[in-house]
Amino acid sequence: MSTPHNSAEKGEFAKTVLMPGDPLRAKFVAEIFLSDARLVNNVRGIGGYTGTYKGCPVSVMASGMGMPSMGIYSYELFSFYDVDNIIRIGSAGSIREDVRVRDLVLGIGACTNSNYASQYGLHGTFAPTASWPLLSAAVSAADRLGVRYHVGSLLSSDTFYNDDAEEANEAWRRMGVMAIEMESAALYMNAARTGKNALAVCTVSDHLITGEATTAEERQTTFTAMMKVALETALAVSGGGAS
């Protein structure tokens, strides 16, 4: 079986997939954290790998940037490859003073300025949220690992360069949004529509108030706390439990 964007055979993806935006971050996770990792997809350079973490089958594959790209890859994994859980491991920009660079944000909800939900024909506003089993397991993992984290709302934005960024960011901040990224709302909506589970675990890569920022290389290879929390979450929901 294959899709226009995925050459893997059915069964080659594990039930839980970690999904960074960056294909190089996916490769890093596979090489550093997974045992016996093998490449199962490389269409358009979006490498998908499956291996084991502490004996638990886990896959990792990039989503690319933005909700259209996340929408395609997560939908195909949920709908055509029998994936049950997708954990986004991405970067985000903080818009709160107390949410620091390299902190984790576990996205309980994903606000958005996107029109992605219009496809569902809903007579109102849909609120994309994480799946509780994944969120609960991630909080437990972060506590065990001693990782500094926040649980709250993300903003999934359709624009990176925004004409009214300063005013818009302040408006979202007043509503309790912690950080801005570009994929989680589409992931959460796809999970809701397909009856599957999703969670975004994001590392704050830059601070939109203080101006502090990490480099592209740091985002690729040093956000290991986020990766470990996601892997331990995958282990927990597989029935492997904590170790």
**Catalytic residue set:** 206
Residue whose C-alpha is closest to residue 104's, from 225, 207, 237, 242 = 225
Tokens of 41: 């997809």
Residue whose C-alpha is closest to residue 18's, from 30, 32, 5 = 30
CB 235 within 8 A of CB 169: no
What are the CA-CA distances from residue 165 to residues 94, 171, 173, 229 (Å)? 13, 10, 12, 31
The three-point CA angle 7-13-15 to 5° equals 150
Total residues belonging to the chain: 243
**193 CA to centre of own chain:** 17
Q: What is the per-residue burial (b if ≥16 Cβ within 10 Å, else e) of 33-54?
A: bbeebeebbeeeebbbbbbebe
